[in-house]
Structure 1
């Protein structure tokens, strides 16, 4: 079991404050960060999120200075040949598993 947990309500508060400062909708934040709108629905409802999404949001909030050595910019998203959705490639350049692959694989 992990010794630390993400304070999702606090993350939501910080994101919402920054979003309002910039005059953005949640969809606008999703576009700026290139995260799925569903990511923000998860945060708003208090559910956790993937590590890569968290890192992206920490960078967007400017809270990444303490972990900057652990962050590397992602490559260009790759389109899935089956469903056309874009996904960040794995470090080895291969496609990440996602629902359309699970359904066909």
Structure 2
């Protein structure tokens, strides 16, 4: 039987993107989610969160848990979430690409994040 595991780097990347988008610190994110700050530190070091923390984190992201699951062969199982934050969804994809360096990913996250904020601002202005 296949043993599915949490893709910690993808989860951490999604959290990092959402944290940056919302302009939170890791401590603020942890408080908002309801997990300890040490959970974030452990994940930064590649360790999996406990099941309760994992559930809280994916719920906070608005993404299904399956998005962050991998099987032993490394194939990711994914289903499309209803409407997760765009940067939370894109960050793991950008960071997984072997043709992008860390600076490239950071730049793309900043550019896309700026565009997302602009679009949201424009939508808000139109709805007034």
TM-score range, shorter chain: 0.5 to 0.7
TM-score by length of 1: 0.58
Superposition misfits of 4+ residues, deviation over 4 angstroms = none
Give structure 1 stretches of 5+ with no counterpart: 67-105
Which fold has the larger relative contact order, with Cα–Cα distance below 8 Å and residues 6 or more apart in sequence?
2
Name 1:45's counterpart in structure 2: 45
Structure 1 residues 11-59: Cα deviation after superposition (integer angstroms, max 9, x where no partner): 0000000000000000010110121000000111100111000000000
Provide the alpha-carbon RMSD of the alignment: 1.9
Q: Is the 8 A contact 1:33 1:56 kept in 2?
A: yes
Q: Is the 8 A contact 2:30 2:36 kept in 1?
A: yes
* 1:20-35 map, 5 Å: 20-35=20-35
User: Shift in Å at residue 64 of structure 1?
Assistant: 3.5
Name 1:3's counterpart in structure 2: 3
Give structure 2 stretches of 5+ with no counterpart: 67-128
TM-score by length of 2: 0.48
Q: Is the 8 A contact 1:55 1:64 kept in 2?
A: no
- What is the aligned length? 66
Q: Is the 8 A contact 2:8 2:43 kept in 1?
A: yes
Q: Partners of 2:60 and 2:32 in 1: how far apart?
A: 9
